[in-house]
Amino acid sequence: MSKKKVTKVCKLQFQAGGARPGPALASAGINMPQFCTAFNDATKDRKGDIVPVIITAYEDKSFEFVLKTTPAANLLKKAAGISTASGDQKQIAGTITVDQLKEIAEYKMPDLNANDIDAAMRIVAGTARNMGIKIEGFE
Protein backbone atom coordinates (compact mmCIF):
# COMPACT_ATOMS: atom_id res chain seq x y z
CA MET A 1 0.00 0.00 0.00
CA SER A 2 1.56 3.28 -1.05
CA LYS A 3 1.50 6.32 1.20
CA LYS A 4 0.21 9.63 -0.17
CA LYS A 5 2.77 12.43 -0.32
CA VAL A 6 2.05 15.46 1.89
CA THR A 7 2.48 18.73 0.00
CA LYS A 8 1.49 21.21 2.70
CA VAL A 9 0.25 21.54 6.28
CA CYS A 10 -1.75 24.71 7.08
CA LYS A 11 -3.00 26.04 10.40
CA LEU A 12 -6.05 28.25 9.89
CA GLN A 13 -9.02 29.57 11.88
CA PHE A 14 -12.62 29.90 10.72
CA GLN A 15 -15.96 30.70 12.28
CA ALA A 16 -17.74 27.44 13.13
CA GLY A 17 -19.96 26.53 10.20
CA GLY A 18 -18.65 29.51 8.24
CA ALA A 19 -15.69 28.37 6.15
CA ARG A 20 -15.71 29.89 2.64
CA PRO A 21 -13.35 29.49 -0.31
CA GLY A 22 -10.76 32.25 -0.30
CA PRO A 23 -7.06 33.15 -0.41
CA ALA A 24 -6.21 31.33 2.84
CA LEU A 25 -7.59 28.06 1.50
CA ALA A 26 -6.20 28.66 -2.00
CA SER A 27 -2.68 28.61 -0.58
CA ALA A 28 -3.34 25.13 0.85
CA GLY A 29 -3.83 23.71 -2.64
CA ILE A 30 -6.94 21.67 -1.82
CA ASN A 31 -10.44 21.30 -3.24
CA MET A 32 -11.93 24.36 -1.48
CA PRO A 33 -15.68 23.63 -1.84
CA GLN A 34 -15.14 20.06 -0.62
CA PHE A 35 -13.19 21.29 2.43
CA CYS A 36 -15.74 24.01 3.23
CA THR A 37 -18.62 21.54 3.15
CA ALA A 38 -16.76 19.02 5.36
CA PHE A 39 -15.58 21.71 7.82
CA ASN A 40 -19.00 23.38 8.08
CA ASP A 41 -20.72 20.03 8.67
CA ALA A 42 -18.17 19.10 11.36
CA THR A 43 -18.52 22.43 13.20
CA LYS A 44 -22.23 23.21 12.90
CA ASP A 45 -22.73 22.42 16.63
CA ARG A 46 -20.13 25.08 17.63
CA LYS A 47 -21.89 28.13 16.07
CA GLY A 48 -20.42 31.47 17.08
CA ASP A 49 -17.02 30.03 18.03
CA ILE A 50 -13.72 30.42 16.23
CA VAL A 51 -12.42 26.97 15.32
CA PRO A 52 -8.71 26.43 14.62
CA VAL A 53 -8.06 23.69 12.08
CA ILE A 54 -4.91 21.94 10.85
CA ILE A 55 -5.23 20.93 7.20
CA THR A 56 -2.90 18.35 5.67
CA ALA A 57 -2.91 18.62 1.87
CA TYR A 58 -1.70 15.76 -0.33
CA GLU A 59 -0.21 15.66 -3.83
CA ASP A 60 -3.45 14.41 -5.39
CA LYS A 61 -5.39 17.46 -4.01
CA SER A 62 -7.01 15.34 -1.30
CA PHE A 63 -6.80 16.48 2.33
CA GLU A 64 -7.35 15.64 5.98
CA PHE A 65 -8.14 18.10 8.73
CA VAL A 66 -8.06 18.13 12.52
CA LEU A 67 -10.27 20.48 14.52
CA LYS A 68 -8.86 22.12 17.64
CA THR A 69 -10.60 23.77 20.58
CA THR A 70 -11.61 27.43 20.47
CA PRO A 71 -8.71 29.75 21.51
CA ALA A 72 -8.62 30.52 25.26
CA ALA A 73 -8.66 34.27 24.58
CA ASN A 74 -12.03 33.99 22.80
CA LEU A 75 -13.48 31.84 25.58
CA LEU A 76 -12.21 34.24 28.25
CA LYS A 77 -13.69 37.28 26.49
CA LYS A 78 -17.03 35.51 26.16
CA ALA A 79 -17.00 34.45 29.85
CA ALA A 80 -16.07 37.98 31.00
CA GLY A 81 -18.69 39.53 28.71
CA ILE A 82 -16.21 41.84 26.97
CA SER A 83 -15.54 42.45 23.29
CA THR A 84 -11.87 43.46 23.56
CA ALA A 85 -9.18 42.70 26.08
CA SER A 86 -7.07 45.30 27.85
CA GLY A 87 -3.81 46.19 26.14
CA ASP A 88 -2.37 46.90 29.58
CA GLN A 89 -2.19 44.06 32.13
CA LYS A 90 -2.69 46.52 35.00
CA GLN A 91 -6.02 47.77 33.64
CA ILE A 92 -8.89 45.38 34.41
CA ALA A 93 -11.00 44.70 31.31
CA GLY A 94 -13.35 42.23 33.00
CA THR A 95 -13.65 39.52 35.63
CA ILE A 96 -14.50 35.82 35.66
CA THR A 97 -15.05 33.31 38.47
CA VAL A 98 -12.89 30.32 39.36
CA ASP A 99 -15.74 28.06 38.15
CA GLN A 100 -15.65 29.74 34.72
CA LEU A 101 -11.85 29.35 34.67
CA LYS A 102 -12.16 25.64 35.49
CA GLU A 103 -14.83 25.16 32.79
CA ILE A 104 -12.58 26.80 30.17
CA ALA A 105 -9.55 24.79 31.32
CA GLU A 106 -11.51 21.52 31.10
CA TYR A 107 -12.65 22.39 27.57
CA LYS A 108 -9.09 23.36 26.49
CA MET A 109 -7.43 20.34 28.16
CA PRO A 110 -6.97 18.25 24.95
CA ASP A 111 -4.97 21.07 23.31
CA LEU A 112 -2.96 22.18 26.34
CA ASN A 113 0.39 20.85 27.45
CA ALA A 114 -0.88 20.10 30.95
CA ASN A 115 -0.94 16.92 33.02
CA ASP A 116 -3.95 17.81 35.18
CA ILE A 117 -6.76 20.32 35.51
CA ASP A 118 -4.81 22.51 37.99
CA ALA A 119 -1.97 22.98 35.49
CA ALA A 120 -4.52 23.72 32.75
CA MET A 121 -6.19 26.31 35.00
CA ARG A 122 -2.82 28.01 35.60
CA ILE A 123 -2.16 28.18 31.84
CA VAL A 124 -5.58 29.71 31.13
CA ALA A 125 -5.20 32.05 34.12
CA GLY A 126 -1.94 33.34 32.62
CA THR A 127 -3.76 34.11 29.37
CA ALA A 128 -6.48 35.90 31.34
CA ARG A 129 -3.89 37.93 33.27
CA ASN A 130 -2.23 39.04 30.02
CA MET A 131 -5.62 40.13 28.70
CA GLY A 132 -6.43 42.20 31.81
CA ILE A 133 -9.10 39.76 32.99
CA LYS A 134 -9.28 39.31 36.76
CA ILE A 135 -10.19 35.91 38.22
CA GLU A 136 -12.15 36.23 41.46
CA GLY A 137 -10.82 33.95 44.19
CA PHE A 138 -7.86 32.58 42.23
CA GLU A 139 -4.16 32.81 43.24
Report pLDDT digits (tens) over 64-114. 999 999 999 899 988 888 888 777 777 888 889 999 999 999 999 999 888
Among the CATH numbers 1.10.10.10, 3.30.1550.10, 3.40.630.30, 3.20.20.410, which is that of 6-67?
3.30.1550.10
Closest CA to 125 of 80, 83, 82, 67: 80
Q: What is the mean pLDDT of residues 23-47?
A: 88
Question: Does residue 42 carry a pLDDT above 80?
Answer: yes
Domains of the chain by residue range = 6-67, 72-136
Q: What is the mean pLDDT of residues 22-51?
A: 88
pLDDT bucket at 1, cuts 50 / 70 / 90? very low
User: Is the Cα dihedral 54, 57, 58, 60 positive or negative?
Assistant: positive
pLDDT of residue 102: 92
Report pLDDT digits (tens) over 44-72. 888 888 999 999 998 888 899 999 999 99
**What CATH code is assigned to 72-136?**
1.10.10.250
